[in-house]
Amino acid sequence: MHPSPPGEGRLSRILLRAALSKLSDAVEADVAIAGAGPAGLTAAWLLAEKGLRVTVVEHRLGTGGGMRGGSMLLPVALVEEELGAGLLRRAGVRLEPVGDAPGLYVFDPTEAAAKLTARAVDAGATIIPGVHVEDLILRGGRVQGLVLNWAPVVEAGWHVDPLYLEARAVVDATGHDAHLLRLLERRLQGKVRVPGMSSMDVWRAERLVVEKSGEAFPGLYVAGMSVAEAYNLPRMGPVFGGMLESARRVAEMIAETLLERGERVEAGVEA
């Protein structure tokens, strides 16, 4: 005789218990990343692989950011061998060489978004969609976390008090919004300036967005198109190598900082 299936009330309890457990673990992280686009997902994947506890918050309901739109809503994007192709291959994304442009590849942005998401989750990162960053935790002249609310609450204009995500390092991977940088700009008027990106220059942009990636303010790192917004760099459109390699660079910097001197992180607690 089979046991009776749980009733709807018990199903709700099961879901609530699991959700609260997951969220409770996520609000104290080694690294907090705002934005689950190509840069945020890549940084989350590479950092989680190193044993760091990573929480990603994304304003939208799904992951992939601007990558999902491909080239003007066409289901294609570009990456070059020198920048990004290796990361996409490692994620399992299929690359199609462009015959008359050696070293350049076409890929499916939906496939890339899905596989980068899976890589990040499989590595141990937690991704929470539908979450808006209201403010920064700024203490001792250093960014030490995020102030969070549900995106629909913010969009409705309701006054609902937030919750917090504390982290040892924070990454602005919010793309063209450069949302964390602009929050900082408002909080520290005159001390931080976000000039916005410059006009299109694809190959210069690809190089500079990687070179300029890093810690823009103590505790706050920039990756992907947030870098272009921070330093008035050119835009590159649907060419994604620089964004991916930017995330790799930031992940390496953060990992080196947090794990220096042989320091290990186990279950989110420094040994």
State pLDDT tens for residues 200-225.
999 999 999 999 999 999 999 999 99
- Domain at 26-70+110-260: CATH architecture: 3-Layer(bba) Sandwich (3.50)
* pLDDT value at residue 190: 83
Residue showing tokens 């040994």? 271
| Domains in the chain: boundaries | 26-70+110-260
- Residue 186 CB neighbours (<10 A): 11
The SS3 assignment for 100 reads coil
| pLDDT at position 262 over 80 | no
pTM of the model: 0.94
Q: In the beta sheet, which residues pair with residue 74?
A: 71
35 vs 196: CA distance, rounded Å: 18
50-66 burial by CB neighbour count: b if 16+ within 10 A, else e? bbbbbbbbbbeeebbbb
Helices and strands, number each (H, E), in the chain: 9, 13
Predicted local confidence at residue 260, as pLDDT: 76
Instruction: Say how far apart CA 46 and CA 151 lie, in whole Å.
Output: 27
pLDDT at 149 over 90: yes
